[in-house]
Amino acid sequence: MNFHCGKYTLNLNRPHVMGIVNVTPDSFSDGGQFVSTNLAVAHALKLIADGADILDIGGESTRPGAEPVSLDEELKRVIPVIEALHKVSSVPISIDTYKPEVMRLAIAAGADIVNDVRALQEEGALEVVSGSHVGLCLMHMQGTPQTMQSSPSYVDVVNEVKQFLTERLDTSLAYGIAKNRILLDPGFGFGKTRAHNIELIKHLDSIADIGQPLLVGLSRKSVLAAISGGDEDQRLYAGIAASVISAMKGAKILRVHDVKATVDALKVLIAIQQIEI
Ligand code: 7PM
């Protein structure tokens, strides 16, 4: 199963790791944008050294419950990072945004993948991606980042997520985006209770039946703490388990903060999958 994204083709026969690079607002008032850009680029290079197969650059606009980030602020955060990484990165660069203008300028700056938590539902987003050769991740979300965790509700969460992703896939295909450029993502934590998230992991294989490679993002999410009882930084161990289990259920890309730990854990699964009897 090959995934085409910009100048790269990834062979998804083994699980791949996408390392998260959050470009945070600059806390050094006199440091200008330079400081946060350099911190993000340095972190990205560390993730590549740790074994990341893809980098996901985000200006925090997609974070649940977070204050919306203005277009200008998001561009200021992410574009310099993509420009700098584009020159030195050995792996595809993904932009985590739902804003078509951020997508457009990120692609011009060298992004290889558009990772959209709104699955190209913003006006003009389908056109931006179909007019390029980048890869695409379509994610499911119920509600909006501001309200989605207040009372998530489904009759059948697996089938509703599946139906939504199938519809967004068909729409993307109709716009001329090739099948081998598209990833699907159930959107863990985006308008889902603990029970919904667990149900989705349990039936990930059913979502994989759509026929597109799946991306899974569970890293450091609250459902892990709800299960393990661990606090914020103890979510690591539960997250490793979640990534390995997701990969065993067919996830092809694991979106994580803790790249080295995840890469090492997945090596066990890869070694077992390589043995043919
Ligand atoms: C709080 C909760 C802060 C969650 C940040 C997050 C996903 C994503 C995000 C995902 C894809 C984070 C998330 N999550 N994109 N962007 N899939 N495709 O962990 O699950 O950074 S934001």
Per-residue model confidence as pLDDT tens digits over 90-142: 999 999 999 999 999 999 999 999 999 999 999 999 999 999 999 999 999 99
Which residue minimizes the CA distance to atom 13 of ligand 1? 63
The reply to whether ligand 1 has any atom less than 6 angstroms from the CB of 224 is no
d(Cα 104, Cα 125) in Å, to the nearest integer?
9
Which residue minimizes the CA distance to atom 17 of ligand 1? 217
Phi and psi (nearest 5°) for 216?
-125, 130
Helices (H), 26-122: 32-49, 71-88, 100-109
The reply to whether ligand 1 has any atom less than 6 angstroms from the CB of 96 is yes
Q: Which of 168, 181, 220, 221 is catalytic?
A: 221
The reply to whether ligand 1 has any atom less than 6 angstroms from the CB of 185 is yes
Instruction: Quote the ligand 1 centre to 34 CA distance (angstroms).
Output: 25
* Per-residue model confidence (pLDDT) at position 149: 76
Contact 55, 18 (CB under 8 A): yes
Question: Can 255 be counted among the known catalytic residues?
Answer: yes
Instruction: Quote the ligand 1 centre to 217 CA distance (angstroms).
Output: 6
Instruction: Return the percentage of the chain with pLDDT > 90, whole number.
Output: 83
d(Cα 10, Cα 220) in Å, to the nearest integer?
26
Phi and psi (nearest 5°) for 131?
-85, 10
Identify which of 204, 216, 132, 209 has the alpha carbon closest to the alpha carbon of residue 172. Answer: 132
* Per-residue model confidence (pLDDT) at position 27: 58
Which residue minimizes the CA distance to atom 21 of ligand 1? 63
* Per-residue model confidence (pLDDT) at position 89: 96
* Per-residue model confidence (pLDDT) at position 255: 98
Instruction: Quote the ligand 1 centre to 219 CA distance (angstroms).
Output: 8
Per-residue pLDDT reduced to its tens digit, 152-200: 889 999 999 999 999 999 999 999 999 999 999 999 999 999 999 999 9
Instruction: Return the percentage of the chain with pLDDT > 70, whole number.
Output: 95
Question: Can 194 be counted among the known catalytic residues?
Answer: no
Task: Give the domains, in start order, of the chain with CATH numbers.
Answer: 13-270 (3.20.20.20)
Instruction: Quote the ligand 1 centre to 276 CA distance (angstroms).
Output: 35
Per-residue pLDDT reduced to its tens digit, 220-251: 999 999 899 877 677 899 999 999 999 999 99
Which residue minimizes the CA distance to atom 19 of ligand 1? 219
* Per-residue model confidence (pLDDT) at position 173: 98
